[in-house]
Amino acid sequence: MVATSRADDNAGDARNAGDAGDAGDAGDAGDAGDAGDAGDAGNKSYGRRAFRRSKAHFTDRITADGQGGWPVEPGRYRLVASRACPWASRAVISRRLLGLEDALSLAITDPIQDDRSWRFTLDPGGRDPVLGIRFLSEAYDRQETGYPGGVSVPAIVEVPSRKLVTNDYERITLDLATEWTALHREGAPDLYPRALRDEIDQVMADVYEDVNNGVYRAGFATDQEEYEGACAALFRRLELLGRRLEGQRYLVGDTITEADIRLFTTLVRFDAVYHGHFKCNRWKLAEHEVLWAYARDLYQTPGFGDTVDFDHIKRHYYQVHTGINPTRIVPLGPDLSGWLAPHDRQALGGRPFGDGTPPGPVRADEKVPERGRP
C-alpha cells in the first residue's frame, strides 16, 4: 500500500510507500505511499522523519449483498496495483489464486511515482486503457477532495464513474476471499476458512507488527535506538516463524491461507531490498534454511511467483527512497536463480489448494516481463 505523498509525505509508507496500501504499503510505505518520484521533497524525507503507517482513509467495502452501496459485480471494478508494493501484491496474488481475472480487471502502475501519485506511464499514451486516467490521484479526487494522507495502492476503482471505492489494504483481500465467492473460479481455494480465522488473525497480527511493518520501521528509523529495536523485533519474529514452519508446510492448517500471502510478500522482497536498502541485515533469507525453503515453495506455487516482478521491486525502493539512497543507483544483485531451486517442503504434507486446484496459466497481458523474473 504505498501511498504517494501529496499533503503529507510522511504517511509512512503508507502513503509514502509507494504503495501505500499501500496505504502504507500498507500502504505501501515503501511502497507505501511511496511518494515516488514524488518530487523529491517527499522522497528525501525517508529516514529523516519519524515513521508511522497510516490506516486507510477510504474503507468502503464491495460486498455480496451490496449493503454499503458497492455490490460485487463482474466488470464493474478495476484493481490498481504496483508490483513493487508488498501491500498491493497481496491483492494481486489473491485475485489470481481465486480466479477473479475476468471479474476484476487489473491495472499495473509504473514502479516509480512522481509528485502527482502513482502513474500509468507503462500504458500507451501514459493513460490507463480502461479508466482513461493518467494518475491514480484522479480517481481519489473524484471520491473526495482534500482527503488526508496520500494516494496509495492497492486501490479499487469503479470503472463507470472512475471513482475510488476503497484503498483499505487490510480488508480488500479478505473481501475478495469471502464476498466475491460467486465469481471465484471452479476449484478456488478457501484462503480465509471460517474454522481457522481466529488463529489466522493472530498470526497475521504478529506478522504485520514485526515483519510487514517492521522492515519499514527499521529502514526509515531516524536514530540508532529506533532502528535496533525494530530490527531486533523483526528477526526475533522471523526466528519464531521459522520454528513454527519446521514441522508444517503452511502457517495455519495444511493449506495456503491469507496468512501465507501476507508473509510471502515481505519474504520475497527481503534479500532484494530489505536486507541492504533497509539495513535488515542480521542474516539473509537465503541463509535461513526453513524460511528460505518455505518462501521458495510458495514462489513456485502458481499464483505467487508468477505475479512477482523483481525489476519493479528493486527500481521502486532504490529510486524512490532518495532520503536513504540519494544516488538512486539500483544494485545488480542478488542472484535470483535460487528461487527456482528444489525446496522439498512437500515432504511435510499439506495440500496447497485444499480440495481445490491450482489456477490456470497467467493471461498473456498479465505476464511479468522476463527482466523481472529469475
pLDDT (mean) for 76-81: 98
Type of residue found at 81: A
Per-residue cell: 353: 489448494
What per-residue confidence (pLDDT) applies to 48? 66
Helix/strand/coil for 369: coil
Cα separation, 277 vs 95, in Å, equals 29
pLDDT tens digits, 130-179: 999 999 999 999 999 888 878 999 999 999 999 999 999 999 999 999 99
- The answer to whether residues 17 and 24 touch, using CB atoms and an 8 Å cutoff, is yes
pLDDT tens digits, 218-227: 999 999 999 9
> pTM for this structure?
0.90
DSSP string, 123-165: SGGGS-TTT--SBTHHHHHHH-SS-SS-EEBSEEEETTTTEEE
pLDDT above 70: percentage of residues in the chain: 86
- Placement of cell 526453513 in the chain: 290
What per-residue confidence (pLDDT) applies to 51? 66
Cα separation, 161 vs 254, in Å, equals 42
Q: Is 317 a catalytic residue?
A: no
Q: Which residues contact 194 (CB under 8 A, 6 or more apart)?
A: none
Catalytic: which of 77, 140, 169, 216? 216
Task: Identify the DSSP state of 28.
Answer: -
Backbone angles phi, psi at 207, to 5 degrees: -65, -40
Q: Which residues contact 102 (CB under 8 A, 6 or more apart)?
A: 74
Question: Could you tell me which residues are beta bridge partners of residue 218?
Answer: none
Backbone angles phi, psi at 152, to 5 degrees: -125, 165
What per-residue confidence (pLDDT) applies to 38? 37
Cα separation, 23 vs 156, in Å, equals 13
What number of other Cβ atoms are within 10 A of residue 201's Cβ?
A: 15
Catalytic: which of 46, 85, 250, 318? 85
For the cut 50, the answer to whether the pLDDT of residue 37 exceeds it is no
Cα separation, 118 vs 110, in Å, equals 7
Cα separation, 4 vs 14, in Å, equals 8
Cα separation, 259 vs 202, in Å, equals 9
Q: Is 85 a catalytic residue?
A: yes
- The answer to whether residues 26 and 217 touch, using CB atoms and an 8 Å cutoff, is no
- Placement of cell 530490527 in the chain: 231
Per-residue cell: 259: 496468512
pLDDT above 90: percentage of residues in the chain: 82
pLDDT tens digits, 245-286: 999 999 999 999 999 999 999 999 999 999 999 999 999 999
What per-residue confidence (pLDDT) applies to 115? 79
